[in-house]
Structure 1
Amino acid sequence: MNNFKLKIGALLASTAMMVAVSCSDDFLEIPPVGELASAQLSSLAGLDASLIAAYSQVNGRGNRLGSPSNWVWGSIRGGEANKGTDPGDFTTINPIQRFENQAADGEMGSKYNVCYEGIARANSVLRLLGTAGPDVTENDKVRLSSQARFLRAHFYFELARVYNRTPYVDETVDYGSGLEEVKNDKDLWPFIIADLEYAVANLPATQPQVGRVNQWAAKAYLAKVYMYTKEYSKAKPLFDDVIANGVTSNGLKYDLVPYYDDMFRGANDNHQESVWAYQAAAGTGSVLNANPEFDLNFPYNTGPAGPGNCCGFFQPSFTFVNAFRTNAQGLPLLDKSYNNPANEVKSDMGVPSGDPFTPDAGNLDPRLDHTVGRRGIPYLDWQDHPGQAWIRNQPNGGPYSPKKYVYARSEQGSFQDNSSWTPGYTGINFMIIRFADVLLMAAEAEIEVGSLEKAREYVNRVRTRAINSKL
C-alpha cells in the first residue's frame, strides 16, 4: 500500500513539474495567423513588398472613379465625353456630369478613399524604414523612400486637383489616435513639391524593373506640378532637362512613338513615350492586376465582331469630336468655330445601322480616328464601326464610341483578360505621363516666359507625328 502511494506521489510530482514548465508565458504567445510580424515587414523583402503594395494602388484597385485617368472627374466633367450607356445606369455619375454633385453623394468619396489608401501604404513604407532590419543598407533606405515619397506625391496631387484641400497625413501621424482630428486647412502643393524634390534628388536614372519610377519621371511630374502652381520659370528648366536628356526606367531615350496608335498596344508597353505608367497584366488570376478602370468603356452589344460587348460608357461628345476639324492647312479652328453648323463633323446620329451613311469627307486631324469610334471608319482591326448597332442609347450618349485603351482583335487572350464578368479588362498599361504631354506642357511654359518660337517647335513636333499617323 505504501509502495502504491509512493508511485502516485511521484507521478503527481512529475506532472506538476511538466505543467509548471509548459505553462510559461511563451505558451500564450501564439503568432496571429495571416499577419506578418513587424520584424518581417522591416526586412528588405518586407519593405519592398510594402512598396509594391503602394504601387498596386495607383490603378485604383477596381474603383473606376479612383483611377488616374480621371475619365469621370476630368473628361466627363470637362465636356470631352458623356457618361453614355442609359440614363438609369450608374446614376451616381449623372450629377457629376451636370455639376450638381453634393458631398454626401456616393461617388464623391471614391477617389478620396483610393488616394488615402495609397498614401497610407506609402506612409507605411516610410514608417517601417525607421525600424529597418539589419539587411537594409543606407542605399536601400534611400531607394525605397524616394519611390514611396514619389507615390505619396502622386496621390496628393490627385487629391489636390479633384478636391483642392484635404487633410495632410504623413508617416509621423499616429493612425491609432487623433487621425480624425487632422484638418484640411493646409495647402497641399508645398508638401507635394517637397516629396517630388526628394524623389528627383534621390531616384536613379534607370531601374532594374521598368514599372518603378525613375528620376526623369520625377522631374517631369515636378514640372507638371509647377504648371499647376503657375511657377512657370521653375517648370521650364525641368522640362528642358527632361526633353534633352530624359530616359525611361528601362533606359529608352524619351521620344514620340512614330505612329500614334502604336503607343496604345499592349505589345508596345513601356515604350519611349511612356514617362510614367502603371503596369497592367492580363491572365494573372485577378483582374485587379489588369487595367481595371476602363472595363465599362467599350462599344455596346458588339458580340464577337467587336471588343468588350459592354457597357457603352464614356462616349466622346459632339464638342470633342468637332474640335478635330481643321482648315485646309491642317490647323485647328482655335476660335471654336468648329461647333458652327458648317464645321460640325458629320455623324450618324439617329441613323439606323441598316440605313446608308457616308462619313464626313472634310479636313480632320488624323488623331480623331485613333481616339473616337465613328460609323464607317475602321475600329482598330475589328471591322468598320457599324454606328447605332454598337451604341447603347444614342439619344442619351450620342453616336460615338471610345477607342483608346481598347484591346484589338489581335490582342484577345494576351492583352485582354477573360476571367471576369466582362472581357473588358486589358493588359494595356495606362500612361499617367506621356512624352507628348511633356512637350505640350513645355510649350505652355515657353509661352508664359515669352519663348513663342520654342513653343511652336514643341507643338509642331507633336503635330508632325499626328500628320504621319493616318489610318
Structure 2
Amino acid sequence: MKKFNSKLIIPGAMAVLALSYSCKDYLNRTPTGSLNTIILANKAGVDGLLIGAYSLLDGTYGGQPGNTWMTGTDNWIYGSVAADDAHKGSTPDDQADAGKIEAYIATSSNNYLDPKWRVMFNGVQRANDVLRELPLVKDGSVTPAYAKEVIAESRFLRAFYEFDLAKLWRNVPYADETVTYDNGNFNIGNPGPIWDKIEADLTAAMADLPATQSEKGRVNKYAAQAFLAKAYMYDHKYAQALPLLNDLIANGVTSSGTKYALVHYADNFNASTKNNSEGVFVIQASVHDGSNGDNGASGGTLNFPSAGPATCCGFFQPSFSFANAFKVDAATGLPLLDTYNDSDIANDQNVGSDKPFTPYAGTLDPRLDWSVGRRGIPYLDWGIMPGASWARDQTDGGPYVPIKNTYYKSAQASTSEAYEGWAPNQSVANGYNAIRFADVLLWAAEAEIEIGSLDKAQGYVNWVRDRAADKTGWVHTYKDDGNSTGGFTDIPAANYKVGYYGTYAGVNGGTSNAAMSFATQGKDFARKAVQFERRLELGMEGHRFFDLQRWDGIFGGPMGSGYMAGVLNGYLNHEVHVPNFPSALLNSAHFVAGRSELFPVPISQINLTNGAIKQNPGYN
C-alpha cells in the first residue's frame, strides 16, 4: 500500500501553492494566484491542493513564519510545558519566550504565538482553497462521488486547524470558503467560541467519508467521528459525545481497516510500530525522502536529551510532579490521587553522573519509564540513562529527559536524519498520535460519569489500566548493560505494579480492589480517577493544558471555576520547593484564574485586522 505523504505537492499545483504559502497573514490579504483556475481546475489541481492542505497537519512547512518547534500540532510547549507535564528546560536564555509561556507571563508580542496562529490559519486557507476550486472543475475529471469525498476531507482538515486554534485561544475567527480577501469581509473578528462551526464541519465530514482509505495518512469516517466526539467533550455536550464514542469502541477501524484496539504502550511511540490498531488518527512523518528532514516530526526538533540520542537540545524535560504522579499504593497498585506529591521519587537533581545514585525502589506505574527518561533505568536501547550528563541544564529543567519522541538506537539510520542540515538526527519518522484509542476510552469514561453509569466509566478506565498491567509491555533490564542493543531480559527495570478500580476481570494480572470501586467511592472520586488516568496515559503528548482547561467551570466544565488555577498553582508551589532546583523562572510564575486558561491573541493579528480581532480577557 502506498504511503500517503502529506508533505509532497504534485508539480501541477506547485507554483500556485508556493504563492499561497507566502502570504503575510491569512486573515489580512489574498495569496496572489491562489485561485488560478486555468492551472488548478482539474483533478490533478484539486489533488495538489488537497495534499497541500494535509501537509500542514504537523503544523510545519518550509519557509514558514517562526520555527517549526513553535508551530507543531504536537503542542509540546502549549499543551505540556504550559501545564504540569514538563519544564521548558535547556538554559534559561535559550528560547526565552517559551519560558514565558511556562511561567504564565507571555504577552501578546510573544514570538511563539504569532507563528502558531498564522500557520494554523494557513491550514484553514489551504482547506478552503480546495473547496473553492472544486466547483470550477468543468472538464469531467472529478466525479460527483470523488468530489463528495474531497469536500469531506477538506472540511475535516479545516475543522482540525480551527480546533487547534480554539484550544489555545478559544475566541478565534472561523473562516469558511466564502471568506475571501478581496471582497472587504476578511475582518471577520473573533466574537466567541466556534465549537458549533467545528462540530458542523466534522459532522459533515463524518457523514461522507469512507470507512477505509487506500493511504494510511488520509482521514476516514471514524477518525472524523472521534474528532467530533472530542469537540463535543470540549463543548461539554456529553449526551452527543457518548453515542459516537460507544460506536467507535464497538465498530471503529483505522484508515487501513484494522479494528481499534490497545497495543503495547511503547508501540505508540516507536516509528517502526506506528499506524497500529490504536492509532485513530496519526499525523504522518518520514525521513530520507529528499526533503532535507522537513517531512520528519519537526515540531519536536529541540526535544531530545542534550547528549545520547541526537545530542541536542535539552528542551521539554518532564517535571518532578509528573514523575511523582506514577507512584502507586504498594498494596493496591492504584495511583495516589491526592498524596502523590507529598514526597518526590528518588532523582539525581544536582547529582553528577560520576556520583553514586540509587533509583527509586517504591512501587510505580510501569508507564513512567515509557514517558520519562530517568537515571538508572534503560532508555530504549540506548543504555542505562546516565542522569545529569544528558541534561543540558538542570537549573530550570530538572533531572528528567523526554522519551516518547525518541527513536531507537538500532533504528537510528532508518528513522532519523539531520533536520535542514544543522540538527543531527533530529528529524524523525515518529509521527504524532493526534488521537489514540486510549483517548476514546477515557473520553467515554468521562461522558459516562457525567450522564451515564459509574460502572461503565470504571470499566473503560480499567481497560486502559489492564494494558498497563501487561508485563510483556513493561521496560525490562538489558541482557548485558554493556551491549544495550543486544536485547532485554524478562526482569522489570523497576518495582512496577498496576491495580484496578473495583473488581475487574482483566487478562493481564492487575490487582482488583472492590472497596475502591467508582460506585462505592462516588462521582467526585470517579472524576478524579479518570482525570488522573488521562495524565498517566497521555502525559508528554501535548494534551494536559487543554484537559485542565475544558474541565474548569469557567468554560462550563464539571470541576468548578478556578479548578485549573488551583491545579497549576499547586504544581508550581511543589516544583519551587524541590531541593536543589533553584528555578528563577518558576519562582516568578503564577497562574491567574480568568486569564491564564487562554493564551494572549498575537498583537500583530489585532493590528493587521484593524482591531476586528479582539484580545482575550486579562491581556493588554
TM, length-normalised to structure 2: 0.68
TM-aligned CA distance change 1:246 to 1:33, over 3 Å: closer
- Kindly report which structure 2 residues correspond to 1:341-352, keeping only aligned pairs within 5 A, or say none: 341=343, 344-352=344-352
Contact 1:65 1:73 in 2 (8 A): no
CA drift of 1:79 comes to: 1.5
State whether structure 2 residue 239 is matched by structure 1 residue 233: yes
Percentage identity across paired residues of the two chains? 46
Contact 1:102 1:108 in 2 (8 A): no
* Other-structure match for 1:100: 105
* Other-structure match for 1:13: none
**Take 1:326 and 1:107, find their aligned partners in 2: how far apart are those partners?**
37
Residue from 149, 153, 175 that aligns with 2:155:
149
- Kindly report which structure 2 residues correspond to 1:75-90, keeping only aligned pairs within 5 A, or say none: 75-90=80-95
**Take 2:326 and 2:184, find their aligned partners in 1: how far apart are those partners?**
52
CA drift of 1:177 comes to: 3.7
For residues 300-329 of structure 1, give each alpha carbon's deviation from its aligned partner in whole angstroms, at most 9, with x where no partner exists.
1x2xxx211000000000011100110022
* Other-structure match for 1:205: 211
Residue type of the partner of 1:117?
A: N
State whether structure 2 residue 334 is matched by structure 1 residue 331: yes
State whether structure 2 residue 328 is matched by structure 1 residue 353: no
* Other-structure match for 2:422: 421
* Other-structure match for 1:49: 48
Contact 1:323 1:333 in 2 (8 A): yes
State whether structure 2 residue 405 is matched by structure 1 residue 402: no
The DSSP-based 3-state class of the residue aligned with 1:395 is: helix
- Kindly report which structure 2 residues correspond to 1:7-156, keeping only aligned pairs within 5 A, or say none: 34-35=15-16, 37-61=36-60, 63-133=68-138, 134-156=140-162
- Kindly report which structure 2 residues correspond to 1:305-316, keeping only aligned pairs within 5 A, or say none: 306-316=308-318
Contact 1:256 1:272 in 2 (8 A): yes
* Other-structure match for 2:521: none
Gaps of 5+ in 1: 1-31
CA drift of 1:110 comes to: 2.2
CA drift of 1:35 comes to: 4.5
CA drift of 1:130 comes to: 1.7
Moved more, 285-294 or 218-227: 285-294
Give 1 or 2 for the bigger CA radius of gyration.
1
TM-aligned CA distance change 1:186 to 1:138, over 3 Å: farther
Residue type of the partner of 1:410?
A: S
CA drift of 1:180 comes to: 4.3
**Take 2:14 and 2:287, find their aligned partners in 1: how far apart are those partners?**
30
Alpha carbon RMSD of aligned pairs, Å?
1.5
TM-aligned CA distance change 1:415 to 1:33, over 3 Å: closer
Residue type of the partner of 1:449?
A: I
* Other-structure match for 1:214: 220
**Take 1:179 and 1:220, find their aligned partners in 2: how far apart are those partners?**
33
After the TM superposition, list the runs of 4 or more consecutive aligned residues in structure 1 that deviate by more than 6 angstroms: none
Residue from 166, 170, 184 that aligns with 1:164:
170
Contact 2:71 2:119 in 1 (8 A): yes
For residues 230-273 of structure 1, give each alpha carbon's deviation from its aligned partner in whole angstroms, at most 9, with x where no partner exists.
0101100000000000000000000001x211221112121100
Gaps of 5+ in 2: 1-12, 18-35, 62-67, 476-620
CA drift of 1:179 comes to: 4.8
**Take 1:81 and 1:327, find their aligned partners in 2: how far apart are those partners?**
24
**Take 1:242 and 1:33, find their aligned partners in 2: how far apart are those partners?**
37
**Take 2:258 and 2:271, find their aligned partners in 1: how far apart are those partners?**
17
State whether structure 2 residue 371 is matched by structure 1 residue 371: yes
Contact 1:168 1:186 in 2 (8 A): no
Higher relative helix content: 1
Residue type of the partner of 1:248?
A: T
Contact 2:287 2:296 in 1 (8 A): yes
CA drift of 1:217 comes to: 0.4
CA drift of 1:415 comes to: 1.0
CA drift of 1:181 comes to: 1.9
Residue from 456, 469, 474 that aligns with 1:470:
474
The total of aligned residue pairs comes to 432
For residues 127-161 of structure 1, give each alpha carbon's deviation from its aligned partner in whole angstroms, at most 9, with x where no partner exists.
00121232111111111010000010011111111
**Take 1:35 and 1:249, find their aligned partners in 2: how far apart are those partners?**
30
CA drift of 1:395 comes to: 1.6
Residue type of the partner of 2:403?
A: K
